[in-house]
Every structure is written in structure tokens, then in C-alpha cells.
Amino acid sequence: MTRNLKTGLFSAVLLMLISYPILGLKLSVVGIRLQVEGASAETLWIIGGAALAILLWHLLLRDRLLGSGLAKAALPSLPEGFKHSMTLPHVQRWIMFGLLVIALVWPFFGTRAAVDIATLMLIYIMLGVGLNIVVGLAGLLDLGYVGFYAVGAYTYAMLAEYAGFGFWTALPIAGLTAATFGFLLGFPVLRLRGDYLAIVTLGFGEIIRIMLRNLTEYTGGPNGISVANENKPTLFGISFERRVPEGVQTLHDLLGTSYNSMYKVIFLYLIALLLVVLALFVINRLMRMPIGRAWEALREDEIACRALGLNPTTVKLSAFTIGASFAGFAGCFFAARQGLVTPESFTFIESAMILAIVVLGGMGSQLGIIFAAAVMVMLQEIRDFNEYRMLIFGLTMILMMIWRPQGLIPMQRPHLELKP
């Protein structure tokens, strides 16, 4: 009992010590001077209440709950059979197919805002599956993934600005450029151990952003580059924009109706869907090829891989390069949708969000990533919630690592088990 009292008091004091100075005392600028303002009584009551709760928990409940194993059962859980079947590859394949059919049909009945959000969701799915190759399959923690995304976006924007390239010609070039950057960066750093790699890639992502901001003659500096209407995506030469230069056919001229921005939104959505489906297909195939098997083998045990004659550097490099190329495609599309690229779209927080999608979905699982990207983008779109969004991201990442490091919908390989 005294031991419980001690830990309880210690936790309560600790809680007040970390919460009161930051939550209870607010620095605010009054005129030109700083002042400290006390928080509202409500905040103080919450802090006090939380401290009291933690004390009571240690005094009364902790031993009883943990002793009887109640704590484990307290977490909500799906029935075992259903959970198992959700993770099987062929079940996941059918779910994917169903999702695809729904995704193809609904935008024609949806509102403009909803289709726009869905397009954003597809961009994040694309980024998620690309990063999944690097983090989920090959087990390399890449915190600078947004750098390749930026490379893709700027490649398209700069090609359009200086050479007048259209979207469809710029798309493969953007992917290739991002892949080249991935290759050049990966070549030297992939010899490093996992956690060093994380920091180096983070540094690389920041270097790209700083360069984009400061090379004002080429990248437009902090103002970025906008993509002219005639270089936006077209369908076999038909433009979806309202105003285009002479000689370009637009959809509303062709149909003989007035301009309707809904067509453009749906068109962009369908391009994104096409890109995502292609990406999913290619990655699915890659996973079954020797190279994909090698990625996963390397993630599980690098030393064993070496002993079996795999060259870890080559295998990692291929994962890094292919992952980067998907970010390049996504970046190119992002630039086309946004019409403007600025360095501030590519901060570390963006990398963290993509990483959160991969982690939340279950590393290695594509269905999980689709699900996680949908949840993340929805959270972002709820207005009242926006302030707390990143706070909740951070918290979710910690809680997921503690309770479900394998993600919400993990992937299962076909395998046999010996029952003892």
C-alpha cells in the first residue's frame, strides 16, 4: 500500500509538473512586452483532476485490474475468425476490387467538394504505397520522402514553365527524375544502419526544401511556380480549363455548353485513380518477383540475406529508387491539381503524415494504407478538428507502436503452421 501511495504521489506530481507550466501559464505579447497570463480555472481543474485520477488509479485500481488480467480484455477487439480472414491476401484482393468499382462510379453522383477531397486522398494513397515499399517492405525508415515528392512536383512545374511541356510528357520525366534523386542519394547512404539512415534522409529532405526556397532564379523562391493552363492535364488534346490560348480545344467548346468546373474535378480524380491503380498493380507484381521477396527478406534479417548471397546495398537501392519514383509521379500530379508549387508544401510534417499513413495502415499492407489515407485526409478536412489534427497524429503514432505495431490491417503471407 505504501509503495502504491509513493508511485501514485510521484506520478501525480510529475503530471502537474509537466502540464501546469505549459498549459497553465501562457506567454502573451502585450504591446511590445511579454506577459504571463494564468489559464482559465477550467484548465486548472482539469490538470488537478487528472493528477487526482492518476493517484487514485495507483492507490485503488491498478493492482486489482492488472492482477486479474482485465486490462488486456478491456481493449475492443473483433471476433478472431473475422480478424483472421481480413488479413488473408485473397480476401484483401476482393475488397480491393470492390473498392475500385465503387471508386469508379461514385464521383459522377458526388458533390464537387467531395470529389476534390477524394482526389487528395488518392494522392496520399499513392505516396503511402510508394513509401510502403521503402519502409514497410524493405524496412528502411525514410524521413525525407517528401523530398522526392517535391522533386516530382518541381520537375513538372519547371518543365512546363521553361520548356512548355504538358502534363502527360512531364509525368514520366518527373518519375524518372525523382528516381534518379533516390538513386543518387541512396547510393552512398544505404550502407548505413537503419536509424542513421532515417536522420540522413530527413536531412536530405530539408536540403531539397531549403534549395527550392533559395534558388530564386529557377524555382521562384518562396512564391513557387505556377503551372500555366495550357500545360495542365488534357484528354487527347482536349483541355478542361476555362481559359486557354488560341488553338487549344476545350471541353465546353466541344460540347457547346458553358464552362463547368465539375468536369475538371472529375477528370483530375480519374487521372489520380488511374495512377493509383497502376501503382498498386505494379507494386503487387513487384512483391511477387524475386526483388520483392528480397526486400522483405532483408527487412527480416540482413545478416542471413548476406549469407545467402544477396547484396544488401543493391536490394535496398532498388527499393529506395522505386519508392522515390512513385513519389515523383504523385508530386507531378499534385502540381497539376494545385496549379502552384511552393517549398512550404514539402515540409517535414508532410513526411511525417505519409509515414503515419504507412504505420497506421500496417507496414506492408496495401489495403491498410488505403484505409489509413482515407482516415487521415478525412481528419484533415473536419474543420473544428484541424487545430488538434497533428496532436492526434502524434498521439496515434505512439499508441499504435505500443498496442498494434503491425498496423490496423496487417498483411498475411500464405503460410503453414505447425500446431503443437
Partner 1 sequence: MPDLYHYLQQLVNGLTVGSTYALIAIGYTMVYGIIGMINFAHGEVYMIGSYIAFIAITLLAMMGLDSLPLIMVCAFAASMIVTSAFGYSIERVAYRPLRGGNRLIPLISAIGMSIFLQNAVMLAQDSKEKAIANPLPGSFVFGESSMNGVVISYMQVLIFVVTFLAMLGLTLFISRSRLGRACRACAEDLKMANLLGINTNNIIALTFVIGAALAAVAAVLLGMQYGVINPYLGFLAGIKAFTAAVLGGIGSIPGAVLGGLVLGVAEAFGADIVGDQYKDVVAFGLLILVLLFRPTGILGRPEVEKV
Applying CB under 8 A, the residues found at the interface with partner 1 are 14, 17-18, 21-23, 25-29, 34-36, 135, 139, 141, 143, 188-189, 191-192, 194-196, 198-200, 202-204, 206-207, 210-211, 213-214, 303, 348-349, 352, 355-356, 359, 387-388, 390-391, 393-398, 401-402, 405
User: Who's near 63: CB < 8 A, 6+ residues apart?
Assistant: 4
Comparing CB distances to partner 1, the nearer of 340 and 397 is 397
In terms of Cα–Cα distance, which of 201, 118, 117, 136 is closest to 355? 136
Comparing CB distances to partner 1, the nearer of 173 and 400 is 400
Q: Are 214 and 205 in contact (CB under 8 A)?
A: no
Comparing CB distances to partner 1, the nearer of 235 and 395 is 395
Comparing CB distances to partner 1, the nearer of 135 and 335 is 135
For residue 32, with 0-12 CB atoms within 10 Å meaning exposed, 13-18 middle and 19 or more buried, which class applies? exposed
Least gap, CB of 192 to partner 1 (angstroms): 6
Q: How far is Cα 78 from Cα 21, in angstroms, rounded to an integer?
A: 41
Least gap, CB of 260 to partner 1 (angstroms): 39
Comparing CB distances to partner 1, the nearer of 19 and 260 is 19
CA neighbours within 13 Å on the CB side: how many for 77?
A: 11
CB count in 10 Å sphere of residue 328: 31
Comparing CB distances to partner 1, the nearer of 11 and 412 is 11
Q: How far is Cα 282 from Cα 267, in angstroms, rounded to an integer?
A: 23
Least gap, CB of 141 to partner 1 (angstroms): 5
β pairing state of 249-250 and 238-239? parallel
Least gap, CB of 181 to partner 1 (angstroms): 14
According to DSSP, residue 88 is labeled S
The CA-based angle 330-336-337, given to 5 degrees, is 90
According to DSSP, residue 227 is labeled P
C-alpha cell at 336: 497539376
Q: Strands (DSSP E) along 238-337, which ranges? A: 238-239, 249-250
Comparing CB distances to partner 1, the nearer of 45 and 388 is 388
Comparing CB distances to partner 1, the nearer of 25 and 104 is 25
The distance from CA 284 to its chain's CA centroid, rounded to whole angstroms, is 19
β pairing state of 33-38 and 25-30? antiparallel
Q: Are 92 and 289 in contact (CB under 8 A)?
A: no
Least gap, CB of 20 to partner 1 (angstroms): 9
Least gap, CB of 193 to partner 1 (angstroms): 8
Comparing CB distances to partner 1, the nearer of 53 and 210 is 210
Least gap, CB of 248 to partner 1 (angstroms): 39
Comparing CB distances to partner 1, the nearer of 75 and 391 is 391
Least gap, CB of 241 to partner 1 (angstroms): 36
* Helix/strand/coil for 38: strand
Least gap, CB of 315 to partner 1 (angstroms): 17
CA neighbours within 13 Å on the CB side: how many for 30?
A: 6
Q: Are 186 and 371 in contact (CB under 8 A)?
A: no
Least gap, CB of 404 to partner 1 (angstroms): 11
C-alpha cell at 391: 496532436
C-alpha cell at 405: 505495431
C-alpha cell at 299: 527487412
Comparing CB distances to partner 1, the nearer of 239 and 380 is 380
Phi and psi torsions of 245, nearest 5°? -65, 170
Least gap, CB of 44 to partner 1 (angstroms): 13
Taking the CA atoms of the chain, what radius of gyration do you get in angstroms? 25
